[in-house]
Amino acid sequence: MLLDRSTADTVALAGAALGALGVGLGTVACLQLVKMRKAYSVLQGKGKREDFLGAVNRQIGAVDGLRGEVASLQQGLAQVRADVTDALRHIAVVRYDAFPDMGGRLSFSAALLDDAGDGLVLTSINGRSETRTYAKGVKAGASEH
């Protein structure tokens, strides 16, 4: 059975179109393969040749290790925060003239407190002939005396 010339041309043209489509799809597949290899090489790390599951397991192990470190750092941070609340962080000094005939504001009171309001107040009263110094304990922002 012989095909006429126009049918043969049509079949040849269809075959060429299918071939071009195949070449195009092959090119797209190759480009996607190159992209996947680049992404996979990031997962593997430098200079290591291992299969995908091995690389994923290695990354999971690294993440688990980092989680342990983060948990340890959180415990350390909680301890530091607890220590800081006990530190004398709130400090104030007030200078004044204890007696009307004295000038220069040589007397003072200094408060040293932690976050809970516990600490002490130091007071020094300066007079003409003597200076007296007192210390008073403070609990929860109030004096015991």
pLDDT the model gives residue 144: 76
Distance between CA 119 and CA 142 in Å, rounded?
10
pLDDT the model gives residue 48: 65
Which two structure tokens, joined as six digits, stand for 59? 């990354």
Confidence of residue 32 (pLDDT cuts 50, 70, 90): very high
Q: Note whether 133 and 122 are within 8 A (CB).
A: yes
pLDDT the model gives residue 40: 75
Hey, where are the domains in the chain? Answer: 7-83, 90-143
Please give the single-letter amino acid code of residue 44: Q
Indicate the pTM of the whole model: 0.48
Confidence of residue 70 (pLDDT cuts 50, 70, 90): very high
On the question of pLDDT at 28 being above 60, the answer is yes
Q: Where do runs of H (alpha helix) occur along 2-129?
A: 5-44, 52-85
pLDDT tens profile 38-49: 877 776 666 666
pLDDT averaged over every residue in the chain: 87
